[in-house]
Amino acid sequence: MLTREQAADIFDRTKKFSSADEVEVLFSGGRFALTRFANNIIHQNVEDENHVVSVRTAFGGRTARATTNKFDDESLRRVVESSEALAQVQHPDPDLLPMPDTREAAGGADVNSTQAPSRYFAQTAASTPQLRADAVKKIVEVAKKHRLTTAGIYSSAESVEGIFNSRGLSNWHTQTLAEVSITMLAGDSSGWQKSNSPDVNNLDPLRMAEIAAQKTLDSARPAEIPAGKYTVILEPSAALDIVGFMFWDYSGMAILDQRSFLTGRIGSQLFGDNITIWDDVTHPLQTGSPFDGEGMRRLSLPLVENGIVKRVVYARATAERMKRCEQKDQVGPIEATGHGFALPNEMGEMPVNIVFAAPQNPQTLEQMIASTERGVLVTRLWYIREVDPYEKIVTGMTRDGTFLVEDGKVKQGIRNFRFNESLIHMLSNVEAMSVPLRSCGEESFDMVVPAMKIRDFNFTEVTKF
């Protein structure tokens, strides 16, 4: 994998080829391996290694980017020329800021301090196709024991992310990630579990396989119950997949563009007073680099406190624009928070290390079920899309383990529902939450999020299975 020293050499060579006022080079890539199984066999098994350098040049308010995965001098010279050619034909943008230096990027913190725990684990990086195959074999054995078939993945990755600029900034982050996702299938039912962690030892594929298998067995012969408003219990993966659709809007640029559902709503009680949400890259269950696309240190900050939207995140230039904007007194604190995307871009920034605060009286999933007279337990949501951008109505389906809860017990599997639900409405109706966990789904990014019990969740249709 590319080292920081190699990257520094590439940056020095790149810089020499440029005549721009400023130069920034982003590094990313690594080694990725994934063993995929279905029908109780391994049917796909892949590994790749790739690194890219992405060069941004700036000439007095004009900037552009070019990217290559070749590091020889000729390729670096070409990528610099491409970046400069794209930048030089533009009109100057008065909002473009000089690149940050080390001091500004650190945001007043000790630049040498470690903000986040190490996210690189040698054992994860050392995962082999043989080890993954052996783990899959055990998952298949669980499936066969229950007369089911299984499909899923076991992946491992080691990756780098780095940024160097001509004002002396240099940041480097390495990380590993192992991930297991398991679906168990029977004739008319299925169950699912997914988990990931930088440390492969935190994963327990056998336990996950048993839970997925039990869900499959318990949801066999699903009944059809009518669509309507139900109390739902969303397992953490389901909760994260649906709430993830609102975080693009916690962005200063989205407010300036008037495309955020928070436009005109910051400072108001938008959700129930039991909802507090942070963005916190330093949280021990989070992953990712502690700096943003310009190399700025990611601040940990509250987005929602007791249901009141307190603030949004900012890239450097967005913060400066917002300070000059008429609505500057109505949007909460304005400062560069270290959440910017690599420049140039149209979207500005977004929070990507979401952590839901633990509720005062956390309940286990079992306690939520026990307190429910009639409701629906949801394992997983699927194909979620935004229906209405300001009321934040999203649609989607339940999947892989949907159950009717009656009189405090899981009664039986039911056919899957389509929902059309406002996230504002949903987060105003949360009756109970579990202790937040690191969770992952397929529709949104990983978060630290609780299971949620929600009243009046709006199911509009039932499908055929």
Partner 1 sequence: MKQIASWALNVATLRGATYADARIVSQRSRALTTKNGKVGSASDSESVGMSVRVLADGAWGFAASEDLSRSGVETTAARAVEIALASARVKEQDVRLAPEKPVTAEWTTPHVIDPFSISVQQNIALLLNIDSELRGVEGVTLAETNLNFNREEQWFLSSEGSDIHQTKYSAGAGYTAYAFAGNEIQKRSYPNSYGGQWQNKGYELIDELKLVENARRIAEEAVALHHADQCPEGTFDIILDSSQLGLQIHESVGHPIELDRVLGMEANFAGTSFLTLDKLRTLRYGSDMVNVVADARQEHGPGLGTFGFDDEGVPARCTPIITNGLFTGYLSSRETAHTIGENRSGGTLRAEGWNRLPMIRMTNISLLPGEKPLSLEQLVASTDHGILMQTNRSWSIDDRRYNFQFGCEIGWEIKHGKRVRMVKNPSYSGITTEFWNSLDAICSREEWTLWGTPNCGKGQPQQVMGTGHGAAPSRFRGIKVGSAYKGS
Least separation in angstroms between residue 403's CB and partner 1 is 17
> What mask, x for binding partner 1 by CB under 8 A, covers residues 397 to 436?
x-xx---------------x-x-xxx--x-----------
CA distances from 285 to 116, 199, 448 (A): 10, 11, 7
In Å, what is the CA distance from 327 to each residue of 246, 252, 330, 359? Answer: 21, 11, 5, 33
Taking CB under 8 A as the criterion, the residue among 76, 384, 430, 452 binding partner 1 is 384
Strand partners, 418: 397, 461
Q: 252, exposed or middle or buried, with CB in 10 Å at 0-12, 13-18, 19+?
A: buried
Q: Report the nearest approach of partner 1 to the CB of residue 70 (Å).
A: 6
CA distance 282 to 8: 26
Helix axes 73-88, 4-16, angle to 10 degrees: 60
User: How many residues sit close enough to partner 1 to count as binding (CB under 8 A)?
Assistant: 97
Q: Which of residues 177-206 bind partner 1 (CB under 8 A)?
A: 181-183, 185, 190, 192
Report if residue 129 touches partner 1, rule: CB under 8 A.
Answer: yes
Which one of 1, 3, 60, 70 is in contact with partner 1 (CB under 8 A)?
A: 70
Stretch of 80-88, 282-290, 305-313, 319-327 lying at the interface with partner 1 (CB under 8 A): 80-88
State the nearest-atom distance from the C-beta of 386 to partner 1, in Å: 6
- Is residue 79 within the footprint of partner 1 (CB under 8 A)? yes
> For residues 288, 66, 168 and 161, what is the CA-based torsion angle, rounded to 10 degrees?
20
Stretch of residues binding partner 1 (CB under 8 A), selected from 20-28, 104-112, 130-138, 230-238: 130-138
CB of 381 to partner 1, least distance (A): 10
Residue 463: other Cβ atoms inside 10 A: 12
Site string for partner 1, 249-278 (x = CB under 8 A): --------xxx---x---------------
Residue 330 interacting with partner 1 (CB under 8 A): no
Residues between 1 and 40 that touch partner 1 (CB under 8 A): 32, 34-40
Query: Which residues contact residue 432 at a Cβ distance below 8 angstroms, ignoring those fewer than 6 apart?
Result: 359, 361, 363, 367, 368, 371, 452, 453
Q: 8, 13, 21, 42: which one contacts partner 1 (CB under 8 A)? A: 42
In whole angstroms, what is the distance from residue 17 CA to residue 74 CA? Answer: 10
CA dist 36 and 182 (Å) reads: 10
